[in-house]
């Protein structure tokens, strides 16, 4: 396997550090628009793993314009890439997706093609949904014998693997697949004061939190609601405790119903009052807009400015403390015919990922899952063609490999809690 990873921000950097411990690939190209950033990732990886077999020579840096499908194709062909791994903001998904296909490579991403709200009824009716552009060409990918594995981060990704596992092994009938994400993370400045510093891409966070959330119901299909709707307090494990969660647009709701039978599918995110207030203010001021505006003769995107003004999520790890939890709350009828309510989850402590990988926990938790998936594809455990979500594959090998102690696995256990 020869991997072209596009993007060496927080998630891409963490993915390279995780992959360096594994032996399933022969080449890992770290490509970024900022060539120096890609080179820093490669230098960090080779510096940490200089004593490992193949550890140094397998990683190389490259420059690429992710907005150009042609540039992606050219770089993939130049390195003989068998798999193109998209680790950048979803605004580049279609150019990378298209470029990978033109290069004859398989493709993976952690965020699907962007949505477009319904022009008349945005908070009731779906417009262009997340992933619609990719699923529209699923037949072409299948006919060419190529695989596009979409939504294989943590959420979407691991949450979708949990959905397949629940359907296969825990439930006879599922009432709701409810992704619930929460954390107790805190970031401090040099003086020890708590500061606002999102632990994930602010560009992506604005996109998913201010777009109309999508819900799936079996008798209704996909429909939308207002941002931050249906608040509920969810009690997260591992000492995180109760966190208020609200509806947010997310890929799980667009993926799970395609492969898993359920009456309802939702995604709720534990944002907190401060974050919700900030997002609402950005929306009111128009600072969430992506269309360029002219400022003193220069064209700039307001959202790009907001993202650039905040700390880079890849750099805040040393100032962060706490844990993050990604999981799926499943309700319905168990295999024994009795009512069942089960939370399948994955908790990561920032202290652990910083000590082991020098990566903050949110980006590490996102990055580990596509690396696990690539290993399963490399050894032939996962196989498929077309545009597929994680639910299309057997969940057990993935969960076993993720949880198995190193060096056999990735040493990151997941949990199951009946409620």
Question: Residue 61: what pLDDT?
Answer: 97
Torsion of CA 277, 229, 313, 389, to 10 degrees: -170
Q: What is the pTM of this model?
A: 0.92
The CATH number assigned to the domain holding 57 equals: 3.40.50.720
Does 65 share its domain with 150? yes
User: Is 418 domain-assigned?
Assistant: no
Question: Residue 312: what pLDDT?
Answer: 79
User: Is 357 domain-assigned?
Assistant: yes
Question: Residue 188: what pLDDT?
Answer: 85
Question: Residue 48: what pLDDT?
Answer: 77
CA distance 28 to 235: 39
Does 162 share its domain with 211? yes
Bridge partners of 265, per DSSP, are 177, 216
Candidates 104, 91, 105; CA nearest to 133 is 91
Question: Residue 53: what pLDDT?
Answer: 47
Structural domain span for residue 282:
158-361
User: Is 312 domain-assigned?
Assistant: yes
Question: Residue 217: what pLDDT?
Answer: 98
Does 268 share its domain with 307? yes
User: Is 18 domain-assigned?
Assistant: yes
Residue identified by tokens 């290993």 is 375
User: Is 419 domain-assigned?
Assistant: no
Does 193 share its domain with 312? yes
DSSP letter string, 358-405: S--HHHHHHHHHHHHHHHHHHTTSS---EEE-GGGS-HHHHHHHHHSP
> Cβ distance 7 to 34 under 8 Å?
no
Residue identified by tokens 């819900």 is 215
Does 162 share its domain with 293? yes
Does 309 share its domain with 326? yes
**What sections of 211-290 are H helices per DSSP?**
251-259, 273-285
DSSP letter string, 46-82: HHHSTTSTTTTTTEEEEE--TT-HHHHHHHHHHTT-S
Does 134 share its domain with 209? no
Residue identified by tokens 């949110």 is 362
Question: Residue 51: what pLDDT?
Answer: 56
CA distance 67 to 271: 30
> Cβ distance 31 to 6 under 8 Å?
yes
> Cβ distance 344 to 162 under 8 Å?
yes
Does 352 share its domain with 222? yes
Does 45 share its domain with 178? no
User: Is 69 domain-assigned?
Assistant: yes
Domain count, the chain: 2
Question: Residue 159: what pLDDT?
Answer: 98
User: Is 208 domain-assigned?
Assistant: yes
Q: Where are the beta strands (DSSP E) in 270-338?
A: 293-295, 298-300, 320-321, 323-334
CA distance 19 to 347: 20
Question: Residue 54: what pLDDT?
Answer: 46
> Cβ distance 318 to 354 under 8 Å?
yes
The CATH number assigned to the domain holding 176 equals: 3.30.360.10
Question: Residue 376: what pLDDT?
Answer: 98
Candidates 115, 355, 373; CA nearest to 248 is 115
CA distance 302 to 295: 10
DSSP 8-state symbol, 116 = B
Query: pLDDT by residue (tens digit) across 277-301?
Result: 888 888 898 888 888 999 889 898 9
Q: Can you say whether the dihedral through the CA atoms of 348, 314, 87, 252 is positive or negative? A: positive
Does 371 share its domain with 355? no
Percent of the chain with pLDDT over 70: 98
Does 296 share its domain with 371? no
User: Is 374 domain-assigned?
Assistant: yes
Phi, psi (degrees; rounded to nearest 5) at 59? -110, 130
Element (H, E) at 246: strand 241-247
Question: Residue 52: what pLDDT?
Answer: 53
> pLDDT under 50 in the chain at which residues?
53-55
Does 292 share its domain with 376? no
């Amino acid at each position: 396997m020869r991997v072209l990873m596009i993007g060496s921000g927080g998630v891409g950097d963490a993915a390279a550090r995780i992959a360096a411990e594994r032996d399933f690939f022969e080449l890992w190209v770290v490509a970024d628009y900022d060539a120096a950033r890609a080179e820093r990732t490669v230098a960090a990886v080779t510096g940490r793993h200089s004593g490992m077999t193949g550890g140094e020579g397998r990683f190389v840096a490259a420059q690429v314009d992710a907005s150009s499908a042609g540039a992606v194709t050219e770089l993939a062909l130049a390195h003989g890439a068998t798999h193109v791994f998209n680790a950048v903001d979803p605004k580049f998904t279609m150019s990378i997706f298209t470029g990978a296909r033109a290069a004859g490579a398989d493709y993976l991403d952690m965020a699907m093609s962007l949505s477009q709200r319904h022009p008349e009824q945005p908070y009731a009716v779906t417009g262009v949904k997340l992933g619609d552009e990719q699923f529209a060409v699923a037949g072409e990918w299948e006919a060419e014998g190529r695989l596009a594995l979409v939504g294989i981060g943590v959420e979407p990704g691991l949450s979708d693997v949990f959905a397949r596992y629940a359907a296969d092994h825990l439930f006879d009938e599922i009432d709701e697949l409810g992704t619930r994400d929460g954390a107790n993370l805190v970031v401090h400045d040099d003086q020890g004061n708590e500061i606002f510093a999102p632990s994930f891409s602010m560009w992506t966070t604005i996109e998913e939190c201010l777009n109309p959330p999508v819900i799936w119901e079996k008798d209704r299909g996909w429909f939308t609601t207002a941002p931050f709707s249906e608040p509920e307090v969810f009690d997260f494990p591992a000492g995180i405790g109760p966190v208020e969660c609200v509806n947010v647009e997310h890929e799980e709701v667009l993926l799970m119903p395609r492969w898993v039978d359920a009456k309802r599918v939702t995604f709720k995110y534990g944002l907190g009052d401060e974050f919700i207030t900030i997002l609402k203010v950005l929306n009111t001021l128009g600072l969430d807009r992506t269309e360029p505006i002219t400022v003193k003769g220069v064209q700039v995107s307001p959202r790009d400015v907001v993202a650039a003004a905040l700390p880079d999520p890849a750099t805040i790890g040393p100032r962060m403390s706490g844990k993050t939890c990604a999981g799926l709350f499943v309700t319905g009828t168990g295999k024994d015919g009795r009512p069942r309510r089960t939370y399948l989850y994955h908790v990561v402590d920032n202290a652990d990922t910083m000590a082991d990988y020098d990566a903050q926990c949110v980006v590490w938790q996102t990055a580990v899952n596509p690396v696990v998936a690539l290993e399963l594809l490399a050894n032939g455990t996962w196989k498929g063609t077309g545009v597929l979500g994680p639910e299309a594959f057997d969940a057990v090998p993935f969960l076993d490999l993720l949880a198995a102690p190193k060096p056999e696995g990735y040493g990151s256990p997941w949990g199951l809690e009946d409620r």
